[in-house]
A and B are shown apart, each in its own frame.
Chain A
């Protein structure tokens, strides 16, 4: 158990024990699960080449940059994308992903004279925006496309946005440093003030 994991367990334990008089505590099994279950992104991906990895990182960083809060890089999103590409995408989706990576790796330098990662940020953004404009007919952009279903024929740029955004807002960094996270609220108040700059809380199904 590393320090971060210990602190996380301790935080959950303390908030439970201090408020619940009837002895809330994590069982040994839960403790073990929470403490020892590695983060999904703790595994080392081996799907992309180093140069492809750089491309993915730059795209993720453009989608969710560091601002006054951490961005996709600090949240380990490039690693998430690579793991998901290797283990979660189906053959059709992986084919689109691979073709997209190949396009970024080979077609972009031919057109711009430099590898994607060496272009200046406005050029990089322009390329992604052009890809998005071209993808805008995809059903990925439809209002009803949320939550469970991944759009299997969604273009590469949509895959990158979905995996980046999902990977970020379900990461420890995204949830605890960007959203309003309290794993043990202890009460419910449905009428609290919301400031113009406040973040939302992670959603739970009821």
Chain B
């Protein structure tokens, strides 16, 4: 497995490529991704928090916008925690698609907002269970924004957050059912 981080130098942010690579390597090992090449291509021109992921059998490409690795308290500085979470989010999504029962999931750009939210909940729940510091309430709020503000929706959130093995078929059905009950 090779892991590459680009770019080498930055114009707009004070990020460190070697530091990012160390975090990414550690995460890849933790997630059992030592049999695939990984490219982390940071888009420093955008301050958004988006993470784009593409996977083939031999290469996983994770392309976070710089806001996803940033310390929101100190603009343009890199945050170790946010870098860790972003690497974990990108790699878990790639791993889900590759061998986690998500092969039939639509491309990221084709996901509806509720579908994206339930998958993010599944990913962030697993990250929280890896003892990485995650603000759970932020993800509760995101899930509610996409599925509705009710106790029934919160119960679905808890179920997904605490799940360690789910498939796209299960999650997409659960999301559709939750949206239709709330509507």
The yes or no verdict on A and B being binding partners is no
